[in-house]
Structure 1
Amino acid sequence: MKSKKIQMYTDMIRSVGLKATPQRISVLKVLSEMTSHPSADMLMEAIENQGYVMSVGTIYNILETFSEKGLILKLKDNQEVMRFDANTQFHVHIYNKENNGICDYFDPELEILLSDYFKNKLPDDVSLNRMEVSLFA
């Protein structure tokens, strides 16, 4: 019997029209548990540390597919390395120049302010799908 978390990842993958393979479930599970916005190499190391085995090509393909389907976000760090985030809800990314880190900042009030602002400012034929805010420190 699948755990509730595994079932949640399975449902998320299926909800965007993808087959929930063990590899896809593993990648989404591990990425969702990380807050460090890992690169593909960092993610591969974390996946291996949890006992999963797959090639780097498989991981890259899964990440690209997940990004295209909107399951994850792709970000570039200060060194132009592609990083990934499983949290697709509104939040601010704060980039740290000193350690090349990316951290999350959550502010529901900011989301409401920005949403309300854009509702009144965007042309009628433009609908807002998602907002991304990045701060560089």
Structure 2
Amino acid sequence: MQAQSTAAPIGTSSDAFLVRRLMAQAMWPAGETPMPRGAGGFDHPMDAEDFARCRLMLERMPPIAEQFRKVMPNASKVWSTFVDAWDDLCVTLDDECPNWRKSGIEAPNTTAKIRQLIRRAIIDKVTTQDDLLASLGAG
């Protein structure tokens, strides 16, 4: 008789938490202790180096990569924006710094795109909240 697994099935909320936490930790350089930088403790890439560490983790951990596009849009407005732009950011990083996996990362265009995405996500979030308040007569 086989023992039944007590592990939660893939796609549960604990799975979502794990994917978000791993993405946050992936951005920290080796040897550094991850500390929350963003709201809710689920960081997003701030520059090309952060993005490259996240991307490398996804490349090395296929089960996490499978969940990435399902889970991360729900982590925050910024992550939702990142997921939508992920492929474009990958192309930009590859074009700008073809050896990013092996050497240091000098990718100012990738960093600029990342910062634009963050600004857009924050402005969209504020605009949405302002629209909501105005529609409720509280604006």
Please report the TM-score for the alignment, with normalisation by the length of structure 2: 0.34
| Larger RCO (CA under 8 A, 6+ residues apart) | 2
Larger fraction in strand? 1
* Larger helix fraction of residues: 2
**What's the TM-score once normalised by structure 1's chain length?**
0.35
